[in-house]
Chains A and B, each alone.
Chain A
Amino acid sequence: MLTIDNLSAWYRHSHILQGVSIEVKRGEIVTLIGRNGAGKTTTLKTIMGLVAKSTGAISFDGHSILGRPAHERFHLGLAYVPEDRRIVPGLTVEENLRLGIIASASRANETQMIERIAETFPRLKQRLPQQGSTLSGGEQQMLAIARAMMAEPKMILLDEPSEGIMPILVEEMFAQFRTMKAQGTTILLVEQNVELALSLSDRVYVMDQGVIVHQDSAAALIANPEIQERYCSV
């Protein structure tokens, strides 16, 4: 589904990603872990086309996408939920959801999709007319995920969805990811909550200082506390 080969990315003159290779197969949940500042967010941003300077190769669903603008990557079926959620201020919850499908070919299904999403996220259902920015952090995270799902992407990039959210909501959210996987959505997840992420994932990549330092099946990494200790403890 997604093949990243020898990816480098820069912010101005700082060389952040230094030859990253990652492979995510169709229907998999793959988690990317690593310390603060390792380059996880930069990896997701580069996949989505939000980093100005990058080299290497990214192939998504058979298309070479490096150098293509972000909006074209969306139309190939790629969705991105940023670390900071980016609920658009001044828009209602419903408008934020509509924005998720507004450019999509399946726009005609807007109403059904909003209904479906509202069933999946009952917390959002009660708050459709409310300003998106007045939601709690956890609800905003739900909204960001729901918005990304509106256009039924083939693959979704999730940046620390559990950050700052109370455990019960996190459980709910992760159950949702399982459902998404069951429905055929491929997921690349960045998480600090390693234990929970591992319980959900098929495979794991460990990143440090802009390179992948370890990769394994989730089951194998669970049994390997030494790696977890070395690259993930703060």
Chain B
Amino acid sequence: MSGIGLELLALQLVTGVALGAIYVLLALGLSLIFGLLNVVNFAHGAFFMVGAYVGVFLFGLTGNFWVSLVLTPLGVGAIGLAVERVLLRPLYGRGIDYPLLLTFGLSYVFIETIRILFGLTGMRFPTPPELRGAVNIGIGFFPLYRLFLIGITAVIVFALWYFIERTRYGLIIRAGARDPEIVRVLGIDVSKIWLLVFGIGTGIAGLSGVLAAPLQGITPEMGVPVLAEAFVVTVVGGMGSLAGAVIAGLLVGIVVSMTSLFAPEMAKVSIFILMALVLLVRPRGLLGRAGALG
């Protein structure tokens, strides 16, 4: 271990946080959707992938990364709204496996559609010029784009927290997650909450797709491993817990980045080992509990 300096370790930790940022965003959407709609969204990885493609398309069209960054989540969220309204809504109240199978099938529809539209081979999504290079963060030089990733995730997490904990809609969402029937009795059309939540969750998945694109390039299948990882994060954090999604996302990012430093061949399996360990000690995940939306 003497070969590895403290700085390198610290940098690797920050790298882990940046990696975790994407997981946080994905797991937030998954948890939100599960917590309210009781839908295990197997299309979440596909929404992520569609986000990357919509992002590259809009980037190509406008030549402006920031425009693409704002419009992509809106576009993907709009697809999410349509999916909830048309496909998922008829399945509520029929057991958890119906929406699960539907979204599973839907993910293949998305992948195939993207293959038809954009081709089988991947594309590159260049890092926007203003976010290239590295900056000194005190412990060494760190890629600016990854710092940006951490920053924007922090903004989204804060915005979501504020929305849910501090606004009128947030109160309705929290109540709806725990007792949809009483919410209906108090005059609220719960189907509108579910629609909104699915739109928000998939919109954030789309956003994480654009954000991840410059790091890894984009292919129609890029959402498949991401979905598995996002599920691990959600399970580690506790299904339906938003705070759990944030903590577990960062934890998983750090674990992956640390194992790739010390035992690169273990990096891929490390998160599954982490999941197994967490579940052994806390079967509900870190912050999971009976009620939803912690």
In the complex, whether B174 has a CB less than 8 A from a CB of chain A is yes
**Closest A-chain residue to B171, C-beta based?**
A95
Assuming the contacts A69-B184, A102-B171, asked whether A89 and B189 have C-beta atoms less than 8 A apart, the reply is no
Interface of B is mostly: helix
**Closest B-chain residue to A70, C-beta based?**
B184
Assuming the contacts A90-B291, A98-B171, asked whether A71 and B189 have C-beta atoms less than 8 A apart, the reply is yes
In contact, A151 and B187 (Cβ under 8 angstroms) = yes
In the complex, A48 Cα to B172 Cα: how many Å?
20
In the complex, A99 Cα to B185 Cα: how many Å?
10
In the complex, A100 Cα to B181 Cα: how many Å?
13
Which residues of B195-224 have CB atoms within 8 Å of chain A's CB atoms? none
In contact, B187 and A74 (Cβ under 8 angstroms) = yes
* Chain A contacts to B: CB under 8 angstroms: 48-50, 69-71, 74-75, 79-80, 82, 86, 88-91, 95, 98-100, 102-104, 147, 151
**Closest B-chain residue to A86, C-beta based?**
B182
In contact, B189 and A88 (Cβ under 8 angstroms) = no
CB proximity of A67 to chain B, nearest CB, Å: 15
Selected from A79, A89, A103, the residue in CB contact (under 8 A) with B188 is A103
Assuming the contacts A89-B291, A98-B171, asked whether A103 and B178 have C-beta atoms less than 8 A apart, the reply is no
In the complex, A69 Cα to B179 Cα: how many Å?
16
CB proximity of B167 to chain A, nearest CB, Å: 11
In the complex, A100 Cα to B179 Cα: how many Å?
14
Cross-chain pairs A/B with CB under 8 angstroms, 27 sampled: A48-B185, A69-B189, A70-B181, A71-B184, A71-B185, A71-B187, A74-B184, A74-B185, A74-B186, A74-B187, A82-B185, A86-B179, A88-B175, A89-B291, A90-B294, A91-B171, A91-B174, A91-B178, A99-B172, A99-B175, A99-B183, A99-B186, A102-B171, A103-B172, A103-B187, A147-B186, A151-B186
CB proximity of B180 to chain A, nearest CB, Å: 10
In the complex, whether B168 has a CB less than 8 A from a CB of chain A is yes
* B171, B174, B187, B190 pick with most chain A CB within 10 angstroms: B187
CB proximity of A24 to chain B, nearest CB, Å: 18
**Closest A-chain residue to B190, C-beta based?**
A71
Q: Give chain B residues whose Cβ lies under 8 Å from the Cβ of A99.
A: 171-172, 175, 183, 186
Q: Give chain B residues whose Cβ lies under 8 Å from the Cβ of A70.
A: 181, 184-185
Q: Give chain B residues whose Cβ lies under 8 Å from the Cβ of A82.
A: 182, 185
In the complex, A151 Cα to B181 Cα: how many Å?
17
In contact, B178 and A90 (Cβ under 8 angstroms) = yes
In the complex, A133 Cα to B122 Cα: how many Å?
53
* A69, A79, A99 pick with most chain B CB within 10 angstroms: A99
In the complex, A134 Cα to B54 Cα: how many Å?
48
In the complex, A232 Cα to B83 Cα: how many Å?
51
Since A91-B175, A99-B171 are in contact, a sample of 20 more A-B pairs with Cβ atoms closer than 8 Å, ordered by chain A residue number, is A48-B185, A69-B189, A71-B185, A71-B190, A74-B184, A74-B187, A86-B181, A88-B174, A88-B178, A88-B182, A89-B291, A90-B178, A90-B294, A91-B171, A91-B174, A99-B172, A102-B172, A102-B187, A103-B186, A104-B187
CB proximity of A226 to chain B, nearest CB, Å: 37
In the complex, A233 Cα to B174 Cα: how many Å?
42
In the complex, A151 Cα to B179 Cα: how many Å?
19
In the complex, A70 Cα to B190 Cα: how many Å?
10
Q: Give chain A residues whose Cβ lies under 8 Å from the Cβ of B174.
A: 88, 90-91
In the complex, A103 Cα to B184 Cα: how many Å?
10
**Closest A-chain residue to B289, C-beta based?**
A90
Q: Give chain A residues whose Cβ lies under 8 Å from the Cβ of B185.
A: 48, 50, 70-71, 74, 79-80, 82
In the complex, A90 Cα to B178 Cα: how many Å?
8
Q: Give chain B residues whose Cβ lies under 8 Å from the Cβ of A91.
A: 171, 174-175, 178
Assuming the contacts A88-B178, A89-B291, A90-B291, asked whether A75 and B187 have C-beta atoms less than 8 A apart, the reply is yes
